[in-house]
Amino acid sequence: MADTTKLAHAVFFTLKDKSPEKQQRLIEAFHKYLEPQPGVLVFVAGTRDGELSREVNDRNFDVTLMILFESRAAHDRYQDDDRHDAFIAEQRDNWEQVRVFDTRV
């Protein structure tokens, strides 16, 4: 039987400059460099909803990227792709913290 396990890749960015302009610039870079990758089933990006402030809400981030890959192999190709490296080189100077959560689904 074929392995149909997918990989969910969630990345939470805390920015040095938290301005709406810098948040939007990061989201635009996600779409420019990271969205057009083979094996991507779902690609979403956005900013933290500041109105959600329940005790369980983690508010220690500004921008989120979530990708569902068709397989672990697709994720691994994405990580090694030159566009991924170009994205990091262009954007990393404004990152205070980056947290990555990869989940088999």
Q: What is the pLDDT of residues 17-75, one digit of tens each?
A: 999 999 999 999 999 999 878 899 999 999 998 888 888 777 899 999 999 999 999 99
Contact predicate 102/15, CB 8 Å: no
pLDDT value at position 1? 61
Burial of 54 (0-12, 13-18, 19+ CB in 10 A): exposed
Q: Is 0.95 surpassed by the pTM of this model? A: no
Between helices 82-91 and 20-29, what is the axis angle to 10°?
170
Residue spans per domain, the chain: 7-50+59-98
Reading across the β-sheet that carries 63-69, which strands appear in turn?
A: 40-47, 63-69, 7-15, 95-104
Question: CATH assignment of 7-50+59-98?
Answer: 3.30.70.100
pLDDT at 105 over 90: yes
Which SS3 state, helix, strand or coil, does residue 67 take?
Answer: strand
pLDDT at 101 over 90: yes
